[in-house]
A and B are shown apart, each in its own frame.
Chain A
Amino acid sequence: MYLLNRIQRHRVNYTWMIVSLLLVASLPFLLFLGLYLKSFLLIHDYHLGDLLFSKVWKPGSGKFGFYPFIVGSIWVTLLAMLISAPICLLTAIYVTQYTRKRFLRIMHPAIDILAGIPSVVYGVWGILVIVPFISCFVGPLFGVQTLGYSILAAALVLSVMIIPFILNILIEVFRTIPVELKEASLSLGATQWQTVKIVLIKKALPGIIAAFGFGLARAFGETMAVLMVVGNVVKLPKSVFDPGYTLPALIANNYGEMLSIPRYESALMFAALILLAVSLFFNLVMHFFIDRYNKFSA
């Protein structure tokens, strides 16, 4: 009797596990389908190429060109990665290979706190510090007149936001490399730095790619902090000192307003669909690289 009870209980747990698994696994597809249906009105009436590559955004007269938003998003994301990736890599190597374990124990909570700060706080910090810093200092330094609200401001704020995120993954990646591998390299006469450069980075490569990939996806989707400092001007930015507009900011700034304009809601849903497609794409590419690496190297 007791045994039967136990078996049944197990079966119930098992069923629930499968149900939750299916639910979680199907969520991206449901989301995709939902967004597709909602943006169908727009996709049906326009060429996909026109939507993606037209520069004119005049919803009032039925012109929906997403190009400025796509370009804005790409600039902000890539620039943020360009700033944060090397910092994260060097920091992770330093704290895992060159300092005592105690240092890491102090560092971890600090990183976690940074990662836990709400993005609106980062946005405020951007407005109060980064924007004036760019308009009063960086701009003049390069001989450019700028209000400060710019691609650069967004990228700087964004890079500070994703550093703790990427750094946490990278530290974990470097910490899990067996110490024996280091010993092997050193015993062959490599210096500490040669060991890091040639052996450890190579060993960590799939993890490094994954960390950067996740950081990139996160930066691409970040909304609040970016829209507070990027300027929100629908124009192709000519330099990093120009204001821009990003896809998430487009949705957040406009959803719920002006929905009386025909196809407007559909257009915002289309922006969301692009975001989702890009993040899925990042994920696939990342997994491709990691699989390939595991198969051909390591």
Chain B
Amino acid sequence: MKPTHKIHIENLNVYAGKQQILKDINIEIPKNKITVILGPSGCGKTTLLKCMNRLTDLYPELKVTGKVLINDKNVLDAGEDIVKLRQYMGLLSQRPYPLPMNIYNNIAFGLKLKGVKRRRELHKQVVHYLQQANLWDEVKNRLREPASRLSIGQQQRLCLARGLAVNPEIILADEPTSALDPISSQYIEEKFVELKNDYTIVLVTHILRQARRIADYVVFMYLGEVIEQGTVEEVFGNPKMEKTKQYLGGTFN
């Protein structure tokens, strides 16, 4: 594994019964870059992301083989260590799912799991991460309100803050803007560009323009296979495969 790469996926296959959802995936995800996973819906993007932090565990019907190396550790045979390994990866899902507790505790939850106990330290960090996600000014007077009362855009920023709070090295984002209004979407995009200095970001999207705007590295998938991968200039500027050309040209069927 090259030091410039953060995640290294080797011969990854996922089966659901007889159906094969992911077929022999080999990807290198570069460090401190935004890697966009692009492809039509149903091609296996979400499943690929779930393999990285092994949320596939929640679906006993899925069979996963191959290797997902993060810091030279294979996530897929990490056993119980996966609980700690997951803290290397913040997760942002398609729609925000705030924890059923107040705004403050949504952030404090992960911090407490990390072992932060003293109240003053806890408070300091909660404030810090809410600021990081540009949410502090909007919620500083309502920290004890249930998180469900925030707008969707605010909830998504809360989810970002809670993910950052466990101090991950990687951010996994699954179409994080698809439920958001344009302003909130733009905010998340800008934030990602800012965050890539400190984090490795894997962003799943089916929005071509979004990929063009912020991607450094692009992985194009189709029907469970990786068709093409490379820098954004390579894939968007000079696609090699017919399928990629069709998809980028919008003549996809």
| B-binding residues in A (CB < 8 A) | 100-101, 178-191, 194, 198-199, 202-203, 296-298
Contacts and interface: CB of A to CB of B under 8 A. Distances in A.
Given A187-B89, A187-B172, A188-B163, 6 more contacts: A180-B97, A183-B97, A187-B91, A190-B109, A202-B100, A297-B102
A189 B84 contact: yes
A183 B146 CA distance: 20
Given A100-B60, A194-B113, A184 B83 contact: no
Contact of A187 (B53, B102, B114, B148): B53
Contacts of A180: 93, 95, 97
Nearest to A179: B58
Contact of A189 (B60, B86, B97, B148): B86
Given A100-B60, A183-B58, A298-B148, A189 B93 contact: no
Interface of B: 50, 53, 55, 58, 60-61, 83-84, 86-87, 89-91, 93, 95, 97, 99-102, 109-110, 113-114, 146, 148, 159, 162-163, 166, 172
Contacts of A199: 99-100
Contacts of A187: 53, 55, 86, 89-91, 163, 172
Given A189-B83, A189-B166, A184 B99 contact: yes
A297 B87 CA distance: 26
Given A183-B58, A187-B53, A194-B113, A203 B100 contact: yes
B58 A182 contact: yes
8 contacts: A183-B91, A187-B55, A187-B86, A188-B162, A188-B166, A189-B84, A189-B86, A296-B146
A178 B90 CA distance: 19
Contact of A297 (B84, B101, B166): B101
A189 B100 contact: no
Contacts, number: 73
A150 B60 CA distance: 46
A157 B101 CA distance: 38
A252 B119 CA distance: 59
B152 to A, nearest CB: 14
Given A189-B83, A189-B113, A199-B100, A184 B146 contact: no
Nearest to A100: B60
A190 B91 CA distance: 13
Contact of A183 (B84, B93, B114, B162): B93
Contacts of B172: 187
Nearest to A194: B113
B98 to A, nearest CB: 8
Contacts of B89: 187
Contacts of B162: 188
Contact of A298 (B61, B100, B110): B100
A202 B100 CA distance: 6
Contacts of A191: 83
Contact of B93 (A101, A184, A296): A184
B63 to A, nearest CB: 13
B110 A188 contact: yes
A180 to B, nearest CB: 5
A188 B87 contact: yes
The CB with the most chain B CB atoms within 10 A, among A185, A188, A190, A298, is that of A188
A180 B93 CA distance: 8
